[in-house]
Structure 1
């Protein structure tokens, strides 16, 4: 039974970076919070101002500029490209093909290729074969010897000192800097988030202050002062004035009607005075059918008128 027991697990080795993390974290976070709060508040204010500027100025101006650019630049350029540049380019391409490409292809196929083939067999025997023999028998062995010498010299003078420097100096310093940088980044992240909450709280406080110092007093004055005063003015001044104006208008209309009726009666009396009482309808028809004489029709110049003739 004792042989089957597993050996006790060794305690985990304590991380050597723990003390450094604890010593660096709190001061770094405090300093980062103090430095980041004004920056976050200024950033939030700039974001609000930028959104307002974008929605009220930049977006309408951008749309207007896009429309002007499309009308003044894009459409003329498209028309020029379609009806000017493309036909000219096609004509130029056809000319280049006829005058340059076709002759060059013929020259390459019938002149340059045979000459190049002849030169390639000649260069192979005069240059390539001697250069290959020189490389295999002389340059390659000498190069290998020089390479091995340089390898061991560089290994002894550069690689081993660099390895020792990296292992015993740069690695510990890098670990310390990594821990400090990581804690600074974490502290900046926490400070940025907390600054966001602080900025939100300040914004809400300013909004509440503006509401309770301006909006609510104005609403209270409107509700408790201006509205009752307006009702009193409406009930005590405007409505009686309107009723008085309507009564004056009604009286004026009645006076005008009475004056109009009086004028109508006066005209009727004057008409009866000068022309007599109106005749009956049958008598009017008989008089209307009888044609008056010239002497009876024209009585204004004589001394006997229609009123004094009888």
Structure 2
């Protein structure tokens, strides 16, 4: 697909808006880019395959082992410490804190502070409140007397302040300070207008000097030199980028073909001979070994096992017979069981023993001593 898209460029047909410059730059740049990018792409693909192989065979199992080891070394001991040491210790400390601090504090609050607070409230309501009312009545009377004296003093001081301070300052402000301020304001406005005129003229002169000496030459340099050079560099950069992308894709196809060729070569050089040796040599040899050695050995082992089990069964039977003979010699032959009339017993043979045959705590139940 990419080769078909790049076919017009290889024939020299420029895309719309490209021009001759694009057609002259594109083909050499793409050839050079392909020559430079192809080894890099093949090395990159080789590293990617090696990385995936190492990740699947080494790093992932190693990471799982390290994760398990980290859990065993760091996580599980702390979990056990938290669960079986800190949590019970915290519960014990909480119980001790409750018993030693909370319960005494609650008792102190309930049986000391609450009655003391009630006593203080009663004293406040019965003693301090009447005393406070009396003090407030005395202070209210003294305040009324002081207010009458203060009002008279304030009236005298207000008249003196008006005729000695306010009236002279109003006359001074009206007939001296106001005309002087108007004169100073008119002089300041004239000076400000003069300074503004001077600054405006200087700014205009500096503007035209800066425009003629710096702005117009810089604008001409930008329009006549930098913009065309920038456009050429932009075209070159775009073509170089397209060439690198195209070369990367073509190198990917080449690397894929080389990788498949190496895979097929490895298969026919190593895998297929090993498979043929396994199928044609090792499998028949394994079948012969199985039929000639392993199967007869297994049959012999099974026969030996059966003989061993038969011998063990005979030995167990002999030991059982010898034990019965010894018990008969020591305690005599066991009594014959009496026949039971099944018509009289609704439970048949499943009845409890009665009389002497009933088991008690003092009777023995071993095979050598029971009656």
Question: Alignment partner for residue 198 of structure 2, among 139, 142, 147?
Answer: 142
Please state how far the C-alpha of 1:196 moved relative to its aligned partner: 1.9
Please state how far the C-alpha of 1:15 moved relative to its aligned partner: 8.3
Partner of 1:174: 230
Partner of 2:265: 209
**Which ranges in structure 1 are unaligned for 5 or more consecutive residues?**
1-13, 73-124, 266-277, 282-310
Q: CA RMSD in A?
A: 5.0
Relative to structure 1, the CA distance from residue 254 to residue 175 in structure 2 (aligned partners, 3 Å threshold; closer, same or farther) is: closer
Asked whether 1:52 is paired with 2:108, we answer no
Give the distance between the partners of 2:299 and 2:226, measured in 1 at CA. Answer: 100
Relative to structure 1, the CA distance from residue 136 to residue 40 in structure 2 (aligned partners, 3 Å threshold; closer, same or farther) is: farther
Please state how far the C-alpha of 1:229 moved relative to its aligned partner: 1.0
How do 1:180-195 and structure 2 match up within 5 A? Answer: 180-195=236-251
Please state how far the C-alpha of 1:174 moved relative to its aligned partner: 2.2
Partner of 2:274: 218
Give the distance between the partners of 1:225 and 1:153, measured in 2 at CA. Answer: 100
Give the distance between the partners of 2:277 and 2:188, measured in 1 at CA. Answer: 106
Partner of 2:108: none
How do 1:1-310 and structure 2 match up within 5 A? Answer: 18-48=19-49, 49=51, 52=55, 56=60, 133=189, 136-248=192-304
Give the distance between the partners of 1:256 and 1:16, measured in 2 at CA. Answer: 102
Please state how far the C-alpha of 1:149 moved relative to its aligned partner: 0.6
SS at match of 2:45: helix
Please state how far the C-alpha of 1:184 moved relative to its aligned partner: 0.8
Please state how far the C-alpha of 1:167 moved relative to its aligned partner: 2.7
Cα deviation, 1:56-114, whole Å, max 9, x if unaligned, reads 2679879969x97xx89xxxxxxxxxxxxxxxxxxxxxxxxxxxxxxxxxxxxxxxxxx
Aligned length: 209
Give the distance between the partners of 2:274 and 2:234, measured in 1 at CA. Answer: 58
Relative to structure 1, the CA distance from residue 58 to residue 171 in structure 2 (aligned partners, 3 Å threshold; closer, same or farther) is: farther
Cα deviation, 1:255-302, whole Å, max 9, x if unaligned, reads 78889999999xxxxxxxxxxxx9xx8xxxxxxxxxxxxxxxxxxxxx
Relative to structure 1, the CA distance from residue 245 to residue 39 in structure 2 (aligned partners, 3 Å threshold; closer, same or farther) is: same
Partner of 1:90: none
Please state how far the C-alpha of 1:180 moved relative to its aligned partner: 1.5
Give the distance between the partners of 2:186 and 2:254, measured in 1 at CA. Answer: 82
Give the distance between the partners of 2:298 and 2:278, measured in 1 at CA. Answer: 25
Relative to structure 1, the CA distance from residue 264 to residue 139 in structure 2 (aligned partners, 3 Å threshold; closer, same or farther) is: closer
Taking structure 2 as the reference length, what is the TM-score of the superposition? 0.43
Q: Which moved more, 1:53-62 or 1:142-151?
A: 53-62
Relative to structure 1, the CA distance from residue 228 to residue 21 in structure 2 (aligned partners, 3 Å threshold; closer, same or farther) is: same
Cα deviation, 1:226-267, whole Å, max 9, x if unaligned, reads 1111111111111122233444555666778889999999xx
Partner of 2:125: none
Cα deviation, 1:193-229, whole Å, max 9, x if unaligned, reads 1122222233333333333333332222222221111
Please state how far the C-alpha of 1:134 moved relative to its aligned partner: 7.7
Taking structure 1 as the reference length, what is the TM-score of the superposition? 0.50
Relative to structure 1, the CA distance from residue 38 to residue 258 in structure 2 (aligned partners, 3 Å threshold; closer, same or farther) is: same
Please state how far the C-alpha of 1:38 moved relative to its aligned partner: 2.0
